[in-house]
Structure 1
């Protein structure tokens, strides 16, 4: 996520400790259709469709610590409630912290996230993610970002899948018309070491995104198109198939956000995933389509 902040002359004269913390919040309620209810972390898919209600909320605060340093804290909550498949009703809590430092030409950052996810009220996934990064403009319209990501996850329902992960990420942005129209291409290499060797894998990930804002009468509509590809290769044979597992995952996404009034919007989205694998439980396709009402303040 890119954040651009401008200070006027009065703000620039203030000392960082005198600048008020900036609070923001968001809540969204909606509904979606899922063509294949699945739990990706457990390689479990039902091959059955269902409808779900969705609730999302976020609160964040940003506080300057010095002329060149800023700290951000956030909390995210999400819940989906299926009509029939109540056993995969998922609730997720995310605590986040982000420290940014301006180095006069480049920005350094450190983000930390702790995720606690539940299935039908029972503890399911706990994950700690730590990521230092560096970013900056490479030209008038080009922006680059590189990051290292360390994560440690625990799956309460299958401890053999507990794992630590090391990853490297690189993103390049081209601002065709500033934030009104820009492209993003990214690459990530991921090395996951699980408690059971058969779940160890390395993967190459590519993403392409295009974001465009266009004007309708009294409204600025945001359109996002995205494609993600992952080539995942497991390092040890999977006993049930007698060979090393290999996955290719593609996901296409279309997202449209239409303002209703200054602080509210309607979002309509659809995602199609095509997952090809020589391990049958991970060989499936999935279509998710939904909409939600968002209010921000």
Structure 2
């Protein structure tokens, strides 16, 4: 949490405590994003020390900085996770299970990209829920990959990019196969203590499993927002219908890719 302090040179200082000690991925991402954030908010300094982030600047700037600084930390965390995943997934050889999974993910991303209905569905999901980031994610037992994205809040995730599987709620859905939804993570009896909403900086969330015709789990239809959103049962049902429609479309697109158009 940010707290004001007095700087040694008389200029006001804000200290933002981090939940964990930054690793090299976080530090690299912070270094890449720091100058742009300093410039945007007219800060004198922004640095890491043993306690967290130390921000120096005019008192008026610091008073209005809390929400922006929280979003900055979330953005750096997302970038650092993506760097970690990219390093993990970069194949050292052209054979083996990792390479096969990589190729399977690429095929599914390409498959979804050829389904124009998905873009329409994601925009409708955003409109229906009020959540400004929506995605179709491919979720396996080793990998979470965004196949299509609708983003009006600069969440920082594009189609083809991965998140660390173990940090996602979708990984839990892969195991239990149920829709997960909460309107306000900070006040939720379970998700107020769950690491994922805090890590990625969202308050409202819905994720619906997508199944193929043969019963195989493909992934999820997800929407999130940094602000609370109230989802009623009718809206949840609409998203579950969309997820079923995506599953049907995936089956048809897959058959078309294998056998070619019907003659």
User: TM tier, shorter chain?
Assistant: under 0.3
Greater share of strand residues, 1 or 2?
Answer: 1
Q: TM-score, normalised by structure 1?
A: 0.24
Q: Give the number of the structure with larger relative contact order, counting CA–CA contacts within 8 Å between residues 6 or more apart.
A: 2
